[in-house]
Amino acid sequence: MKKLSPNEKSKMVKEWIKDFVNSLEGRFNEHMSNAALGALLYQNLINLSYANQSRFTVFLDKERKSSLESLLYPVGSIAFERILEHGCKAICNGHHVTQLFIKFMVEKLEEFENDQSIE
Domain ranges of the chain: 6-118
The neighbouring-strand residues paired with 53 are 50
Question: Alpha carbon of 106 to those of 13, 30, 33, 89, 94: distances in Å?
Answer: 11, 28, 24, 28, 18
pLDDT digits (tens, 9 = 90+) for 34-80: 999 999 999 999 998 887 788 888 888 877 767 889 899 999 999 99
Mean of pLDDT values over 16-28 = 97
* Residue 108 pLDDT exceeds 50: yes
DSSP code of residue 26: T
Residue 43: Cβ-neighbour burial (10 angstroms; 0-12, 13-18, 19+): middle
Measure the CA–CA gap between 1 and 33, rounded to whole angstroms: 37
Question: What are the pLDDT digits (tens) for 27-36?
Answer: 999 999 999 9
